[in-house]
Chain A
Amino acid sequence: MTYNRLREAQSSAVQIIENSYKNQRLSHAYIFEGDAGTMKRDAAIFFASLCLCNAERKPCGECQICRRINHSAHPNVYHIKPSKKNILKEDIRLLHEEFSKTALETGPKITIIEHADRMNAYASNALLKFLEEPHPNTYALLLVEDASLLLPTIQSRAQTIHFHRLPGAIIEQHLTTTGVDPTLAKLAAQTTAHIDAAENFVNHPDLYTLIESVNQIYEAFLDQASLVLLFDKISSDLLNDELIVELYLDILIHYQKDIIYGKMDHYTKIIFEEHQDIITRVGAQKTTSMLLEELEMMMAIKVNQKHYINTRLAFDNLMLALERRNHSEE
């Protein structure tokens, strides 16, 4: 395992860890904070390997120690994951016990707590003392998506290292270099911060048809046709699959955003450049507040879609909203 990708994506986090190690200023507890897919776990393994690896250029990622760490098989590295839904006090008690014993192998002991925000109140408070007066030569790494979900007293006892999402530009560039259509690359970069997810996104077989059907909606609007009826026709292909609905909504949202940007004369931000004509014409027939309202509706559907709403009804409602136009400007 090499850490090049980690170094590339999270350079400042790696810098903090490496500098601290070099200056022998490693803190006894760290919170790795960042969205899913920001390589927090990789960084935790990097941290452990850095402390334990004996190679000259640490961490080598190839020696036996590094490999064992990578496979969660090193006795000095203690993993805690939520066993069911939460991390319980019992888990933390085991941790206390484990760490009061001397290490099996040389070097420091490292505990990695994944989803640390899922510790319940007892577990968090039990962890507090562990962090306050840690056993010598031990390190705790708390992996969490949002550090503010941890107790404030935990936060102040640990150093928080921030893992940022991959910038859209990097994903876009990565996709275009592999030969993806620039529009799709832009769209993918906007919808996800995962390189893998972005690749999946552009390779989705229905992507082109979906874009086309979104385009149809706005064309129908310009032709003053009924959007509800039009949507009725395409809905059967659409609404059966949750993934497709999400994809469709993503496209719709960014199309709508394009219209808003077009209306504000901010053309460089537009993603669907080939439809610029439609975008400006739709924009001319609506007020900005109407467009914003519609966009909010779309985003609300996207959030609520996971909560068992009547998707069909929500979409019909949206289509009705989309049919409105600003009569004073006609």
Chain B
Amino acid sequence: MAYTALYRTYRPRDFDEIAGQEHITKTFKNALEKGKLSHAYLFSGPRGTGKTSIAKIIAKAVNCEHAPVANPCNQCDLCLGIDQNIINDVIEIDAASNNGVDEIRELRDKVKYLPGHGKYKVYIIDEVHMLSIGAFNALLKTLEEPPKHVIFILATTEPHKIPATIHSRCQRFDFRGIHTKEMLTRLNEIVDKESLDIEPEALRVIAESAEGGMRDAISLLDQVVSYSNEMITVNDVHAIQGSITDDAMIEIAMAIQASDIIKAMEILDQLLSEGKESHRFIDDLIVFYRDILVVKNTHSKEGKSLFEKPAFEKIMDALSNPMVFHYLDILNQAKQDMRLASQGKLYLELAFIKMLDVTIKQDVVMRESMMRLTEKVKTLENQIENLQNRIEAKKDEGQNVVRSVFDDIVQSSPDTKPVVNESDTLDETEKQPVPPQPKIDVPKQPIAQESPYVKLYKKYEAKQYRTYDIRFVEDVLNTGDREVKIEMVQKWYDIERFIDEERANYAKLITDGDLVATNGAMLIVSYDSAATCNRLMKPDVKRKIIEVLEDYYGRKMLFMALPINVWKKVSAEFIKKFRAKTTDDDFITLSPIEDSRLKEIPEEKESYEDVISENVKTAKDLFGDIVKVKKGD
């Protein structure tokens, strides 16, 4: 007799031989034993998961001479007959080639005849998704109320193509891909029965590459057996599949990591000359890096033997997520391009060069370290906040404790310093631990609820500040609110987008600077040049800016522009004094701002008294309203 493929020889003959799918076999065993079988089933699932096999086992079990039984006996005439396809009560229909209405009509006509041998007629309709719409509809009525002696089993790989009306008339069973472990058990049984010589590792590679399809695995085993003469090795499996061995893969990954182009190209050339296909190669590489990503982030090493290799771990540890994404982007792009072009090798080389290129890699590393930096800053900020809360809590217990805790913060973060120096984008205040606010009478609230800030605003608006008044700075710093600042800074650069076009240039002016300090009602913004500050502090400009900020943040605030160098000086002084102060309630005073480039700009009044000189003011104080000022020409 001619040779039959292994997967046909080893088609499971009862439920116990089925690999995996326990949720299904158990259900059916119980149903069969209790005689509670439904009249229609729909089996769906990927190829090689046992749909047709289970359907045939059910057909045997219901017709078995010993019925009701959980498993067919496989010994009685009926069981054997069904196995050999000679009992015409079990009707296997290939819906793919009999997909028309006529075929289904014929089926419908014959359904009413009683079974010839057993108790049931079992219709197994394979690839049922190929039926035409007309055929499906013709089947509907029969499926809804078939004669007592009929069981329908519909099997398909594409359940979504089946009309809902069919779905609702069947009990649906979803078949899962078979797990590598279950597959290995089954493969081992076959290997034992066939008495084959095969490396356990090779068997494992077979199981892994089958991706859940038992038939694929057995087919591959069959093929490997035909290919190799004696002992079957891992290399045989890879040779047949045209896939790349784990070791070669690791070697390539190492070369890419080290940006060793000569080595990488050598391996590439060698593999290609061994007959590996470039599109296969790319697929394998993508899977490899995907595996790295998964294992790296889930820390579970189950699944593939590759994961346990020390070299794999080494590569994994050296690669960061963004770098793997970078590689995967390149490979995916190459895979896509390859589809259209005939010269796959060229794209593969191109992808390799891109992955090996040091400058591109550096970009990725840069971006990545930036990300890490921001993260670090964030955790630092959280730490400081926690400490702040602790300070709050311990406030009553004595000032000394507070001081020592705060000193601790300053000293405990030395490791951030070198990192911070690398980046210029972080603003000055972020570098220094922001001092805790002594007067936290401001409850932590979103900006929208403005009452505390309005109070603050009213309080400070009354003070008549000079243009670059150090008192302004003192007030802001002493009442500074970090949370508000962070919140405002986050929205800072969006000002431009939200302000109407007319005032867009003001918005641009504002965002040219950095918001460096605020207490919610007053803000200090630093600019590169003193000239800009002078321009911004002109009353009419300043008014506009305050207006823009009011529209944007939803409340009125006082505004001061300071050149960055002046700000640095002032803030350094503040921090120094803050550390030196003895009690929390101290109000820190600073030395006045001195910079020859900054001009004091006289405040304008909107009334006719545009300029009220100091003398006029004294006069008014003395004589009250009767003082009249005449404007000189």
CB-based contact B215/A157 at 8 Å: yes
Q: Which listed segment binds A: B273-281, B297-305, B402-410, B610-618?
A: B273-281
How far apart are A23's CB and chain B's nearest CB, in angstroms? 6
Q: List chain A residues, Cβ under 8 A from B94.
A: 126, 128-129
A298 and chain B: residue at smallest CB distance: B346
A142 at the interface (CB under 8 A from B): no
Instruction: Choose, from A76-84, A88-96, A226-234, A310-318, the stretch at the interface.
Output: A88-96
Q: B200-231 toward A: CB 8 Å interface, digit per residue (1/0)?
A: 00000000000001011001101101111100
Q: Give the segment of B347-355, B468-476, B524-532 that binds chain A.
A: B347-355
Stretch at the interface among A53-61, A159-167, A200-208: A159-167
B241, A162: Cβ atoms under 8 Å?
yes
Q: Is the CB of B273 within 8 A of A167?
A: yes
* Chain A CB within 8 A of B551 CB: no
Tell me the bound Cα distance from A210 to B531 in angstroms.
Answer: 62
B-side contacts of A155, CB under 8 Å: 47, 216
| Distance of A289 Cα from B363 Cα, bound (Å) | 12
Chain B residues 301 to 360 lying within 8 A of chain A, measured CB to CB, are 337, 340-343, 345-347, 349-350, 353-354, 356-357, 359-360
The answer, yes or no, to whether B48 is at the interface (CB within 8 Å) is: yes
The interface residues of chain A, by DSSP majority, are classed as helix
CB distance from B319 to the nearest CB of A (A): 21
Q: Which of A27, A124, A165 contacts B223 (CB 8 A)?
A: A27
Task: Tell me if A156 and B277 are in contact (CB < 8 A).
Answer: no
- The reply to whether B97 and A25 contact each other, CB–CB distance below 8 Å, is no
Interface residue? B42 (CB, 8 A): no
- Give a binary string over B39-68; 1 marks a CB under 8 Å from any A CB, 0 the rest: 000000011100010000000000000000
| Shortest distance between the CB of A118 and any CB in chain B (Å) | 17
Instruction: Indicate whether B242 reaches chain A with its CB closer than 8 angstroms.
Output: yes
Q: In the complex, what's the smallest C-beta–C-beta distance from A91 to chain B, in angstroms?
A: 12
Q: Is there an interface contact between A159 and B219, defined as CB atoms closer than 8 Å?
A: yes
- Quick check: is B187 within 8 A (CB to CB) of the other chain? no
- Contact partner of A126 (CB less than 8 A), chosen from B46, B96, B354, is B96
The number of chain A residues touching the other chain, given as a range, is: 35 or more
Q: Is A16 an interface residue (CB 8 A)?
A: yes
| Residues of chain A with a CB closer than 8 A to B240's CB | 12, 16, 161-162
> Complex: how many Å from CA A25 to CA B224?
11
Given contacts A125-B130, A153-B157, contact A299 B337 (CB under 8 A): yes
B5 touches A122 (CB 8 A): no
Q: Is A73 an interface residue (CB 8 A)?
A: no
> Looking at the complex, which one of B46, B95, B241, B341 makes contact with A299 (CB distance below 8 Å)?
B341
Give every chain A residue within 8 A of B227 (Cβ-Cβ): 12, 15-16, 19-20
* Given A162-B241, A266-B261: A292 and B350 interface contact (C-beta under 8 Å): yes
Provide the residues of chain A in CB contact with B215, threshold 8 Å. Answer: 156-157
Assuming A126-B96, A302-B341, is B3 touching A24 (CB within 8 A)? Answer: yes
Taking CB atoms and an 8 Å cut-off, the chain B residues in 546-569 that contact chain A are none
Q: In the complex the two chains form, what is the Cα distance from A121 to B241 in whole Å?
A: 26
> Is A25's CB under 8 angstroms from B222's CB?
yes
Which residues of A, 272-293, contact B by the 8 Å Cβ criterion?
287-289, 292
Q: Are B226 and A20 in contact (CB under 8 A)?
A: yes
Which residues on the B side are within 8 Å of A6 (C-beta)? none
A299 touches B225 (CB 8 A): no
Q: Are A152 and B350 in contact (CB under 8 A)?
A: no
- Compute how far the CA of A35 lies from the CA of B99 in the bound complex, rounded to whole angstroms: 34
Interface residues of A in 1-44 (CB under 8 A from B): 12, 15-16, 19-20, 23-28, 35
Set of chain A residues within 8 Å of B86, measured between Cβ atoms:
none
- Asked if A136 is at the interface (CB within 8 A of a chain B CB), the reply is yes
Interface string of B76-87 (1 = CB under 8 A from A): 000000000100
On chain B, the residues within 8 Å of A12 by CB distance are: 227, 239-240, 275
Report the minimum CB–CB distance from B5 to chain A (whole Å): 5
| Residues A92 and B346 in contact, CB atoms below 8 Å apart | no
With a CB–CB cut-off of 8 A, which chain A residues contact B345? 190
What does the 1/0 interface line of A119-146 toward B look like (CB < 8 Å)?
A: 0011011101100110011000000001
Report the bound CA distance from A157 to B94 in whole Å. Answer: 15
Task: Say yes or no for A63: interface residue by CB 8 A criterion.
Answer: no
Known contacts A27-B5, A128-B127; decide if A299 and B346 are in contact (CB<8 Å). Answer: yes
The answer to whether B216 touches A156, judged by C-beta atoms less than 8 angstroms apart, is yes
A295 at interface (Cβ–Cβ under 8 A)?
yes
Bound together, the chains give a CA A191 to CA B341 distance in angstroms of 12
Which of B52, B94, B226, B228 is the most central at the interface, judged by chain A CB atoms within 10 Å of its CB?
A: B226
The reply on B2 being an interface residue by CB < 8 A is yes
Given A92-B97, A162-B240, is A156 in contact with B47 using a C-beta cutoff of 8 Å?
A: yes
Q: State which of B126, B219, B359 has its C-beta within 8 Å of the C-beta of A156.
A: B219
Q: Is the CB of A27 within 8 A of B241?
A: no
Asked if A153 and B47 sit within 8 Å, CB to CB, the answer is yes
Interfacial chain A residues near B97, Cβ < 8 Å? 89, 92-93, 96, 125-126, 129
Counting contact residues on chain B (CB < 8 A from A), the size range is 35 or more
- Please determine whether B48 and A25 come into contact, CB atoms closer than 8 angstroms: no
Pair B349/A257 contact, Cβ less than 8 Å: yes
With both chains docked as a complex, state the minimum distance between the C-beta of B214 and any C-beta of chain A, in angstroms: 9
- Let me know if B5 and A28 touch, CB within 8 A: yes
Contacts of A160 in B (CB 8 A): 223
Does residue A158 face the partner (Cβ distance < 8 Å to B)? Answer: yes
Write the B1-27 contact mask toward A (1 if CB under 8 angstroms, else 0): 111110000000000000000000000
Which residues of chain A are within 8 angstroms of B225 by Cβ–Cβ distance?
Answer: 23, 25
A320 within 8 A of B: no
Name the B residues within 8 Å of A159 (CB-CB): 5, 219-220, 222-223, 226
**CB <8 Å contact, A292 and B242:** no
Contacts of B47 in A (CB 8 A): 152-153, 155-156
Contact A269 B265 (CB under 8 A): yes
Chain B minimum-CB-distance residue to A170: B273
Bound complex: CA A265 to CA B265 (Å):
12
Asked if B419 CB lies within 8 Å of chain A CBs, one says no
- Residue on A with the closest CB to B275? A164
Q: Which of chain B's residues have a CB closer than 8 A to the CB of A165?
A: 275, 277
Is the pair A25, B3 in contact by a Cβ cutoff of 8 Å? yes
Contact B261 A296 (CB under 8 A): no
Q: Which residues of chain A come closer than 8 Å to B287, judged between CB atoms?
A: none
CA of A3 to CA of B219, assembled, Å: 27
Quick one: given A125-B130, A128-B94, are A295 and B350 in contact (CB under 8 Å)?
A: yes
Q: How far is the CB of B355 from chain A (nearest CB, A)?
A: 11
Contact A156 B48 (CB under 8 A): yes
* CB atoms of A169 and B273 under 8 A apart: yes
Given A93-B97, A257-B349 in contact, is the A303-B222 Cβ separation under 8 Å?
A: no
Is A87 an interface residue, CB under 8 A from the partner?
A: no
Contacting residues, chain A, for B356 (C-beta < 8 A): 264
- Kindly state whether residue A253 has any CB partner on chain B within 8 Å: yes
CB contacts under 8 Å to A, within B252-266, are 261-262, 265
B353 touches A137 (CB 8 A): no
Cα A35 to Cα B345 in complex, Å, equals: 13
Can you offer 25 A-B residue contacts whose CB atoms are under 8 A?
Answer: A12-B239, A16-B223, A20-B226, A27-B223, A35-B277, A96-B97, A122-B99, A125-B97, A125-B99, A132-B126, A137-B2, A155-B47, A157-B219, A159-B219, A159-B226, A165-B275, A167-B273, A191-B343, A288-B353, A288-B357, A288-B359, A295-B350, A302-B341, A303-B337, A303-B340
Enumerate chain B interface residues (CB-CB to A < 8 A). 1-5, 46-48, 52, 85, 94-97, 99, 126-127, 130, 157, 213, 215-216, 219-220, 222-223, 225-229, 239-242, 261-262, 265, 272-277, 279, 337, 340-343, 345-347, 349-350, 353-354, 356-357, 359-360
Name the 10 nearest CB pairs between A and B, nearest first: A164-B275, A125-B96, A129-B94, A20-B226, A167-B273, A126-B97, A162-B242, A159-B223, A156-B216, A156-B215
